[in-house]
Structure 1
Amino acid sequence: MDKTLKLLWGEGAKKGNFYKRRDFLRHFLAGSALTLASLAEANSAIYQSISSLNAQFLESESPDGAYWEAIRKHFVFDDRLIMMNNGTVGPIPRPVFNTLTRWFRVQMTNPFDVYNFLPEKAEEVRKKLASFVNASPEEVIITHNTTEGINFVANGLDLKPGDEVLMSQLEHPGALHPWRLKAKRSGVVIKEVKIPITPRKAEEIDEAFAAAITPRTRIISVGHTVFITGLITPIKELSAMAHEKGILVLADSAHGLGMLNLDLKALGVDFFASSPYKWLGAPCGVGLLYIRKEVQEELWPTIVTSGWDTYPDARALVLTVRMLML
């Protein structure tokens, strides 16, 4: 273990004097022959260090910034960088970087072996994600990002010409344009709902959407964590109101996973798309799409391969995403 720590962080690692981050990268990427076992040991040491820091500082305000300075050492930052834009792509901590390197090494050693380990590992991640957001594994799909998840929903719903999609004026382009394409191809109608920029109470948002509903309204597609203002939309109340009228709800929560304490069963939303590489420390290109079990029969797969019709639930789309990665 001492040898691994020295290789990763330098001679002063046990004393807390970590390598400069650029030196860490230079040694790590220069072909240092770290074994899978040593990477696992390194990750374990980092987790123990973070747990110790949490126990020491998390209950206090740490006014001198010691806690966050110590946490920063577990990320591979350039010394000149002050990271302030998790909203686009967040940083990944060393354990995630180590794990990525570990499995890339397996793939490079025996490329065909990817078929043996990737499906099993993807299933493990999917189950952990489901547990993290209080959902059933059969309701969760690993995607590449929030926009891909929204496209799956927009393309998968069997909407007819004249059917309405309600969206606010604050939606992200990645959430808006899948529906614009749907409108152009299928004749659905996008209705913009003006909601208050700074609402005083959640009811103002619910009332704005309720007033826009007509007999042709089929789905509300709305930002959960609004990228322009930081508004947290009351998805639970909005879903309850919509369901009373037989209307589906899709939440664009690109920033929600890792920022908010999520309980998707409690929210009651039908579809929930997120990007854990923003606030959860996941690698770029990993997304989550939740499809509530009760509405899965209403959604067609967008891309299929052999086995897509094997499962009667969201796993039909999981096979698709696996094939995209392979």
Structure 2
Amino acid sequence: MKSTTNRRDFFRKAAVLTGAFSCNSLYQQLFAEDLAAKSDLYKNVSAEKMAENEDFWALIQQAYPASSSPVLNLNNGGVSPSPKLVLDAVDRYNQMSNQAPSYYMWRILDQGREPLREKLALLAGCDPEEIAVNRNATEALNTVIYGIDLEKGDEVIGCKQDYPNMMQAWTQRAQREGIVYKQISFDFPIEDEDTIVEHYRNAITSRTRILHLTHVINWVGQIMPVKKICQMAHEKGVEVIVDGAHSFGLLDFNIPDLDADYFGTSLHKYLSAPIGTGMLWINKKNISKVWPLLCHGDPKSADIRKFETLGTRSFPIEQGIGEALNFHNGLGAGRKEERVRYLKNYWAEKAMSIPSVKIHTSLKTAYSCAIAGVSIEGMTPQALGQQLLSKYKIHTTSISYGNINCVRVSPHVYTRLSDLDRLVLALSRLAEENGNQSLNSKGA
């Protein structure tokens, strides 16, 4: 019996000593010293200038196994890969869990959720009691979409360029309960915030209760003026739900500063947390009135933890978020945002000069960061995306949705300039080939 107790004590101490926020974290062991030394060389350099410093970013690229992948991943807006230290952390926690799953998951790793909540809150600039940890933006936002009490005839306003899972959730509520789901539409890019605000303002009626707003439009990367829209909606007594799947962990902001009522995000995009991680933020005054998506003993509780009654979930993946936070914080939110925006502009500005190539995204700082859409005249998005992959091993996302027809390109901090040169060369050659084919077809 004594040896069993000692073994348990050993693993308990091991979990504490190697936790993401301990002095022995993998980030501290594997990366912190090198990043601190490199950062010290450029401590007086602005984030904007650092965006172009290839010496600094070479260190960051080395931290990601994806930087050496034979397939160039330019769909980080879908799911971003993690740095190696995050992958190692998940593996370590998984190995520990499988020694005795119900013991190490529930009694050891589960104790790490409160420190994780606090660190997420620090990044979000909010009270930890407003943060719930879950699996993705769909789960976070569906919790709110299905959890808010609405009556038959109450209106919800969204836009046709919102994310499909959220539109489907509102449509389902409308079908089941008789609420009215209205959608406005935009022709992006738009470089006038007031125009966007007025579109929402004009859609609001006396029956409007909820405005569903996407912070960064996933299709083409348009940044929406969230704060202005929230302030306008609140003046009319309308609450706002914000889909921050493509903004949190990339744009440098505090969630409460958006003036929203609810905010959901994925952490496996630009935060580079393990795949299958997300976060829900609810203004503390609203928690008690939102029903949890999954059952809870006290569904009207004002405790944010009522939204975490998921049953068995991957504790190793959840705890891996901590190492992703360490990496992000060491890098610096401002540096990260400016670097990714620089990478987007680097390739998009070059591509704009190619005959028959069109960029579907504003390149101005206020209106985009990571994502840009691109098309070649005479090619469908599907044909362009397929040829980028088959001929050049470049993975993107082809979009034909409503009034949006383009290929979405989204680099990340591990993306090299040479990778983007490869993309531009591919676009140039494909545009030329497509032009020649068109001429031959006309000549025939």
Question: Does TM-score exceed 0.5, indicating one fold?
Answer: yes
Q: Would the aligned equivalents of 2:248 and 2:267 in 1 still touch at CA under 8 Å?
A: yes
Which of 40, 46, 64 is residue 75 of structure 1 equivalent to? 64
Give the gaps of 5 or more residues in structure 2: 1-13, 316-444
The reply to whether residue 53 of structure 1 matches residue 38 of structure 2 is yes
Write the deviation string for residues 188-224 of structure 1: whole angstroms up to 9, x where unpaired. Answer: 1111123352333211111111111111111000111
Task: Pick the aligned partner of 2:249 from 252, 258, 264.
Answer: 258
Separation of aligned partners in 2, 1:169 and 1:134: 30
| CA contact 2:134–2:279 (8 Å) conserved in 1 | yes
Partner Cα separation in structure 2 for residue 301 and residue 62 of structure 1: 41
> What is the deviation of 1:230?
1.2
The aligned length equals: 290
Tell me by how many angstroms 1:322 deviates: 5.5
Give, as a single letter, the amino acid of the residue that structure 2 aligns with 1:48: E
| Offset from partner CA, 1:284-325 (integer Å, 9 cap, x none) | 1110111111222331112124x545942322112x135445
1:233 Cα deviation after fit: 0.9
Q: Deviations over 1:134-186 (max 9, x none)?
A: 11111111111111111111110111111111011211112211111111111
- How far off is 1:55 after superposition? 2.9
Matches within 5 A, 1:1-326: 40=24, 43-44=27-28, 45-56=30-41, 59=45, 61=50, 65-77=54-66, 78-113=68-103, 114-305=105-296, 307-309=297-299, 311-318=301-308, 320-321=309-310, 323-325=312-314
TM-score (norm 1): 0.81
- Structure 1: 5+ residue runs without aligned partners? 1-34
SS of aligned partner of 1:109: coil
1:67-108, Cα deviation, whole Å (9 max, x unpaired): 333322211234424332210111111221121122112111
Residues 160 and 186, structure 1, Cα contact 8 Å, conserved in 2? yes
Instruction: Confirm or deny: 8 A CA contact 1:43 1:94 kept in the other structure.
Output: no
Q: Give the CA deviation at 1:279.
A: 0.3
CA separation of 1:79 and 1:104: change in aligned 2, threshold 3 A: same
The whole-number CA distance in structure 2 between the counterparts of 1:291 and 1:255 is: 18
> Quick one: higher RCO (CA 8 Å, sep 6+), 1 or 2?
2
State how far apart, in whole Å, the 1-side matches of 2:181 and 2:299 are: 31
Change (3 A) 1:86 1:310: same
Q: Percent identity?
A: 29
1:119 match: secondary structure: helix
